[in-house]
Structure 1
Amino acid sequence: MEKKVFVSGCFDMLHSGHIAFFKQAATFGDLYVGIGSDATIDDLKGRNTINSERERIYMINAIKYVKESFVNSGSGILDFKEDLIKLKPDYFVVNEDGYSPEKEKLCKKLNIELHVLHREPDLDLPPRSTTAIRSGDNCSLPYRIDLAGTWIDQPYVSKFKPGWAITLSLEPIFEYNERCGMSTSTRNAAKKIWPYYLPIEKPEKLAEILFKFENTPGSKIISGAQDAIGICMPGLVRHYYDNAYWPKKFESIHSEDILSWLEKHISMVMLWPREKGLDLLNETYINEENVSELTKASEEVWEAIKNKDLESFSNGFLKSFNAQTTMFPKMVNERIEEEITKYRDKALAWKLAGAGGAGYLILVTDKPIDGTMKIRIRRKETQL
């Protein structure tokens, strides 16, 4: 009896990369494809699909590698859970950007073997992804990750001690999920100003425009400037805050040698979206001592990156995260700590993307870890 293989995804704007993935997955047995509903994609990606779920099912069922496709019956990241229980496949196959600890945990519970594939074009075809194709005709603004100093861009933190926040602008090689610490809310605001592309000229001014646009007069909660800066200013940037929402000064690094070094040693793992209603300000320990630890860690990270000192970089990176969670303990919980524990022996350091809790886990490593997502830093000369 042929083994059953299951894959799940959006599979919007069907392209050769999808076909190559189906072909690889089908080598394990009969391939069943579960697709996210239109409503699920809107919730996770913050956008409407190009092709409806009915169109996607019609096209996928026409592919020779696929035995059957269907719309997943649930919602959220594990929208396929009940379908998986009903189908009882032998294998669950994902790409590296589709892996998550929750999927691994579910597969172990159901005694299903999880396989993580690397994206490989077939027949010497060019690499293809839905994100890249969408960027041709639609807005494809950068994302950002923060490396150190997060929260210092809030005056109620920097008033105790001024310091630097460090951000890294990322090319959108993946379409990161909403509410996951990847500055998606600020990015969505940017789409209203620049629907198709981000202008090249004066990135610092663009960041200021975006910050002011998102935080209209009378806003009860002011989004930190680091999100707008990370999106609009390419490369590695640090910005200095002193009891104000906008930084007093900037420094940046665009050395190809250093940026390539960072790409080699930083990877990401998808967790789950931030819990709705989570109040990080419900319990805080913001004082001079804890803020000082945050600012010192940020300085250590910056110097380590300039010297390409991996040991010092990982030490400062972890110190910065520990300082954040000391001030805002609601950033982590038992569930997140459980996932971090899985990488303690594999990674040199770790932190959550953004300051909202959950989302993506950012890792500093000395060598690649299977199942993690690589990053691509946005260079100054290739602004989107």
Structure 2
Amino acid sequence: MSDKIVMISGCYDLLHAGHITFFKTAAQYGKVHAYVGQDQNIKLLKGKAPYFSQEERKYMVGAVRYVEKANVASGSGMLDFEPDMKELKPDIFVVNSDGFTEGKKRICEENGVELLVLERIPEEGLPARSSSSSKKELKFPYRVCLAGGWMDQPWVSEKCAGSVVVAQMYPTMDFNDRSGMATSSRKVALELWGDEYPDGDPVRNAQLLFGAENPPGSEYISGTQDHIGLLVPGVTRIDYDGKYWPNNLENTVDPETCEWLSSVLNFAPLQPRPEGYNPLLKENLDPKIIKRLGESGKACYDAILKKDVKQLGESMKESFMCWSEMLPYTVPDWVMEEMQSNYFSKYSGAITSGSGGGYIVFPSEEQVEGTIKVKIRF
């Protein structure tokens, strides 16, 4: 073993074979120092507490023979290990390819640390594992809104009718709470049906979920694009005209179309929106803006059917820009700066999965290092 100091960081909740393989590979480059995230920071980033406490996770990771020493990260945010890197002064920082971010690259460069990105390859004879896939509840789908978000609220679509585009996704990862991935609606669905996708008519099931999440007297009514996206397979264009339930649905479960969309979509993590964040503090419900928003949904669906990555990106960007004009608090300044500097200049367009944070979602026919890939369910 090399005498070099190797640094790794992560949550390391639900320790599994994939983690051990990662530790083993990292140890080939030197003595591994692991930094587990603080409980409070994980709750901040993911919207929920880890299964095991920071002291338990530190103990479990430190007990693995490939790890020289385990510590609790002293910082906060997505780069919670940054103060520890300055103190430890490692030679190498190791991440899996799906854990790579530009922020990690930046602080390695600033501290003169070599960044090593590993592919997630399981030990021979063992299945590929991630923390997400180890969680039983992940059998139930997620959904992503690709364009037209907010049109499902009557106070928006009553001013001008328009469309939202959603896609149902296999649960290949555990998406963060408060990130616009319909996780609140999904939790209600898990109460109704457990971790199994329900039988029966998907649209009727979406109606049942909408009713369950929005009982009489609810102060805020969750829009139906969440429920339809979670329950209806494939890609769906949902048309709204001033009511909670849409006046029309168009849907495709064509395998070639869904596989194409899976191949071009990329997710780049942002911080989730802060707890208690209110995206509706300022409104500019100009019918002209709302018309553009609704038309971007139609353009998005057409682009998917045509497999036109340029038009897809442009429609996503148009939705995002309409949000910034219509509901400015849905697009904080730091998010707009990130989009303009790293995405609008490089790709045909992009959108955020949630208001004030979540994930940046953008299409590209080229492989993009450090992004999360998803699989559309059809």
TM-score when normalising by structure 1: 0.90
- In structure 2, what is the equivalent of residue 94 of structure 1? 95
Decide whether aligned partners of structure 1 residues 188 and 73 sit closer, same or farther in structure 2, where only a CA change above 3 A counts.
farther
Decide whether aligned partners of structure 1 residues 24 and 43 sit closer, same or farther in structure 2, where only a CA change above 3 A counts.
same
Over residues 246-296 of structure 1, what are the superposed CA-to-partner deviations in whole Å (9 max), with x where a residue is unaligned?
A: 212212111110011101111010011113343322222212211111122
Decide whether aligned partners of structure 1 residues 123 and 315 sit closer, same or farther in structure 2, where only a CA change above 3 A counts.
same
Decide whether aligned partners of structure 1 residues 327 and 129 sit closer, same or farther in structure 2, where only a CA change above 3 A counts.
same
More displaced 10-residue stretch of structure 1: 236-245 or 4-13: 4-13
Alignment pair present for 1:169 and 2:168: yes
More displaced 10-residue stretch of structure 1: 32-41 or 48-57: 48-57
Decide whether aligned partners of structure 1 residues 175 and 96 sit closer, same or farther in structure 2, where only a CA change above 3 A counts.
farther
Letter in 2 for 1:245: Y
Structure 1 CA distance, aligned partners of 2:338 and 2:30?
Answer: 31
Of all paired residues, the percent bearing the same amino acid is 38
Structure 2 CA distance, aligned partners of 1:192 and 1:59?
Answer: 31
Decide whether aligned partners of structure 1 residues 109 and 177 sit closer, same or farther in structure 2, where only a CA change above 3 A counts.
farther
Letter in 2 for 1:96: S
Secondary structure of 1:376's counterpart equals coil
- In structure 2, what is the equivalent of residue 352 of structure 1? 352
Number of positions where the alignment pairs a residue of Structure 1 with one of Structure 2? 376
User: Shift of residue 49 of structure 1?
Assistant: 4.3
User: Shift of residue 42 of structure 1?
Assistant: 4.5
Alignment pair present for 1:116 and 2:117: yes
Letter in 2 for 1:191: L
- In structure 1, what is the equivalent of residue 243 of structure 2? 244
Structure 2 CA distance, aligned partners of 1:336 and 1:51?
Answer: 31
- In structure 1, what is the equivalent of residue 227 of structure 2? 228
- In structure 2, what is the equivalent of residue 343 of structure 1? 343
User: Shift of residue 105 of structure 1?
Assistant: 4.1
Decide whether aligned partners of structure 1 residues 219 and 112 sit closer, same or farther in structure 2, where only a CA change above 3 A counts.
farther
User: Shift of residue 201 of structure 1?
Assistant: 2.0
Over residues 344-379 of structure 1, what are the superposed CA-to-partner deviations in whole Å (9 max), with x where a residue is unaligned?
A: 44322111003x122110011121111111111122
Runs (5+) with no aligned partner, structure 1? 380-384
- In structure 2, what is the equivalent of residue 254 of structure 1? 253
Are 1:167 and 1:238, in contact at CA under 8 Å, matched by a contact in 2?
yes
- In structure 2, what is the equivalent of residue 13 of structure 1? 14
Are 1:161 and 1:242, in contact at CA under 8 Å, matched by a contact in 2?
yes
Decide whether aligned partners of structure 1 residues 18 and 279 sit closer, same or farther in structure 2, where only a CA change above 3 A counts.
same
Secondary structure of 1:282's counterpart equals coil
- In structure 2, what is the equivalent of residue 148 of structure 1? 147
- In structure 2, what is the equivalent of residue 218 of structure 1? 217
Letter in 1 for 2:89: K
Decide whether aligned partners of structure 1 residues 299 and 94 sit closer, same or farther in structure 2, where only a CA change above 3 A counts.
same
Letter in 1 for 2:159: F
Moved over 6 A (4+): none
Structure 1 CA distance, aligned partners of 2:231 and 2:352?
Answer: 21
- In structure 1, what is the equivalent of residue 135 of structure 2? 134
Structure 2 CA distance, aligned partners of 1:187 and 1:99?
Answer: 27
Structure 1 CA distance, aligned partners of 2:273 and 2:296?
Answer: 25
Decide whether aligned partners of structure 1 residues 42 and 191 sit closer, same or farther in structure 2, where only a CA change above 3 A counts.
farther
Runs (5+) with no aligned partner, structure 2? none
User: Shift of residue 194 of structure 1?
Assistant: 2.4
Alignment pair present for 1:208 and 2:207: yes
TM-score when normalising by structure 2: 0.91
Are 1:102 and 1:271, in contact at CA under 8 Å, matched by a contact in 2?
no
